[in-house]
Structure 1
Amino acid sequence: MKTKLKNRFRHGLAMTIPALALATALAGCATAPPKSDTADYQAYQQLNDPLEPTNRVFFKVNNTLDRYVMKPVAEGYVHITTQGIRNHVGDFASNIDEPARMLNFMAEGYPRDAGTSLVRFLVNSTVGIGGIFDPASALGYPETDTDFGLTLASWGVPPGPYLYLPAFGPSGVRDVWTYPFDWFATPMEAAPASAALSDFGYSETGIHLINTRAGLLSTIDQINATALDPYATFRSLYRQSRASQLQQIQQRDTRTWPDWYHQPAK
């Protein structure tokens, strides 16, 4: 058992460490223009994309892979499935992420949201048949998203330079740490190792990627067709999305214990 766990741990590192190493190396190569060059320095501060030439190369590589692989597969997937099926696939994938959300909410200081994530996982994993259905929302426990990048943001860690990583897509020096933490926090990593579980994990990840890409078909097509600079548009949308997610979490009054939890005596 220990050998299997070690092998799975090494496999997880093999999947996530390259992205982290690449992000760190690229960030270390970033050099800000001198403050004496006012115009260039202000532009650098506003864009926070000192690695733009390298990022654009990876953007083109990902676009090529998407055009010839991911998009055709996603279009075929949409053709053979209904919207209802795709919604259930999304619910299933989201349920697997609930334990990671719970841990992140606790680290952010939001025990009420952490309790909601715990209830959602327990209810949807049982009554919802593994998360295919979402009865927890109907019971008053709606989904609230977070990740380790947002946890770091709540601790005051700055976003750092913008990164566009091969296969992973838009990210940043802070957000890139979401991948290893949230990956290791999934239920499949906590369960006993087995070949069947590994195969299931690969299948779930692949289907989730296809399902997510299918939901973005029209949006990405519209951006590619109308944006003067798709790279800059995706960069702006990513940053706006992350800022909005962080703001939504910070504005919620959830720094209290859930109603069903006996609050410790002060």
Structure 2
Amino acid sequence: MLFKRLRQGVLFSAMTLAAAAPVSAVASENDPWEGYNRAMFSFNETVDKYALKPVAQGYRFVMPDMAEKGVSNFFGNLGDIRSAVNSALQGKGDDALTSVARIVFNSTFGLAGLIDVATPMGLEKHPEGFGQTLAVWGMDSGPYVVLPFLGPSTVRDGIGLVPDWYLTPVTYVDDVPTRNTLYGLALIDARAQLLQAEQIVSGDKYIFVRDAYLQRREYLIHDGNIPVQYDDNDF
């Protein structure tokens, strides 16, 4: 479960899109638990400040760029398994087949996923999760919620973590030290990728992250074709 969230950058992913995401008035309406959420957000920020961020900075400092890219590609390849299954569940046959093809090519010619050979071949990533599948099936997002350690989410996305956890190959690694090492490496890699992105944060960081996260989820659910909502006064 943690692996999946980290690969999506859920812990701090909103930062990467905030530069292009205007503040949404609707977002505040989806946040009835703001008191709790702000407290949990502060807790997560403290954990990041004293644990995750320093480790990620050290990781980026000592890791050669090529090696760091290889680690990211490896976990991205594993994430394509989740995307393939959820694309199929959403009725997106072409996207599901593309994800399967990515897995095959990257796992073989890409040396177990360390090299992304699929993207240059025109096989683009189609990130999907069960939270998105539930949205396609008609389930409302529910309130915005900040999860301990995992960061921004919604009730629907939180429920989606459970089946996605079973679609994470690392979950089935029998050797506990190896499994925990992979989880830890995924965490560090995901955090390291966001070191530069967090510089774009401005104003109230809680609102900044919340609004960008919710807009990002809408973007993914609608595959970039977000429906325009008109106010009654527009007519």
- TM-score with structure 1 setting the length: 0.71
Question: 2:111 aligned with 1:129, yes or no?
Answer: yes
Contact 1:56 1:231 (8 Å CA) reproduced: yes
The 3 A distance-change label for structure 1 pair 237 and 136 is same
Question: 2:171 aligned with 1:194, yes or no?
Answer: no
Structure 2: distance between partners of 1:116 and 1:147: 15
Question: 2:215 aligned with 1:240, yes or no?
Answer: yes
Question: 2:102 aligned with 1:115, yes or no?
Answer: no
Structure 2: distance between partners of 1:54 and 1:46: 14
The 5-angstrom pairing of residues 43-82 of structure 1 reads 46-82=28-64
**How many equivalent residue pairs?**
205
The 5-angstrom pairing of residues 1-266 of structure 1 reads 46-189=28-171, 194-195=174-175, 198-223=176-201, 226-227=202-203, 229-248=204-223
CA offsets, 1:15-66, max 9 Å, x none? 89xxxxxxxxxxxxxxxxxxxxxxxxxx888521111101111111111111
- List 4+ stretches of structure 1 deviating above 3 A: 43-46
Structure 1: stretches of 5+ with no match in the other structure:
1-11, 17-42, 252-266
Contact 2:143 2:155 (8 Å CA) reproduced: yes
Structure 2: distance between partners of 1:128 and 1:93: 13
- The Cα shift of 1:100 comes to 1.3
- TM-score with structure 2 setting the length: 0.80
Quote the RMSD (CA, aligned, Å). 2.2
The 3 A distance-change label for structure 1 pair 188 and 69 is closer
Structure 1: distance between partners of 2:78 and 2:41: 29
Higher relative contact order (CA 8 A, sep 6+): 2
Structure 2: distance between partners of 1:74 and 1:127: 29
